[in-house]
A and B are shown apart, each in its own frame.
Chain A
Amino acid sequence: LAKTTQPISMDSYEGQEVNITCSHNNIATNDYITWYQQFPSQGPRFIIQGYKTKVTNEVASLFIPADRKSSTLSLPRVSLSDTAVYYCLVGDFLPGGYQKVTFGTGTKLQVIP
């Protein structure tokens, strides 16, 4: 399984854009990149998933370069409620594959008023 490396923590002021980068040098051809958000005492919540280039949804964007060895989660205009731990996952999510995913230690984002 591809190992992921993220910064341990980040601080940001409210209203700013936050970019969290994840390294996954050993990503396999069938692997997708997925980001989850976790608040204390809750289970992780799906944010966004992608395979290559750029993916955008209502809460975030995911940028993946051509070599796929890294990815960047972009959160526009963060608010205090975005304070959480963010996990980058790399795994085979193709139909028929089992989702033995490996969470790293995540990035603890602290949004400051």
Chain B
Amino acid sequence: ETGVTQSPTHLIKTRGQQVTLRCSSQSGHNTVSWYQQALGQGPQFIFQYYREEENGRGNFPPRFSGLQFPNYSSELNVNALELDDSALYLCASSSLGEKLFFGSGTQLSVL
């Protein structure tokens, strides 16, 4: 157990809809990052939040957005869902500069 919890565990949406995924960080961690993992692939970095500010972003379009709250929990929002957005979405928390602790992920299916 890493202490990082994600909700929901599974989600089914249709193309064009919007989705919000949630992550609770491990106690004491001030940094949250989000990853997308397609079937059979390694996780791909979406973005990272440190003290409620986005301080790093991967190659994902603006319809992927996020928030970090004062208690360091975080949300990932995806607008205008596409079929290719179907994936396992992973949240990782850490203290800045330290190793990542991952949650078990949210499996998103877009139909």
User: In the complex, what's the smallest C-beta–C-beta distance from A66 to chain B, in angstroms?
Assistant: 24
Contact of A46 among B90, B99, B103, B107 (CB under 8 A): B99
Nearest chain A residue, comparing its CB with the CB of B102: A43
The residue that B99 contacts in the complex, of A49, A95, A97, with Cβ under 8 A, is A49
How many chain B residues touch A (CB < 8 A): the figure is 33
- Consensus secondary structure, chain A interface: loop
Q: Is A103's CB under 8 angstroms from B96's CB?
A: no
Once bound together, how far apart are the Cα atoms of A8 and B90, in whole Å? 22
Q: A44-B102, A99-B56 are in contact. List 10 more A-B contacts (CB 8 A).
A: A41-B107, A43-B2, A43-B91, A43-B103, A45-B2, A46-B101, A94-B97, A98-B31, A100-B48, A103-B44
Show the binding face of B for A, using Cβ within 8 Å: 2, 4, 31, 33, 35, 40-45, 48, 50, 55-58, 88, 90-92, 94, 96-105, 107
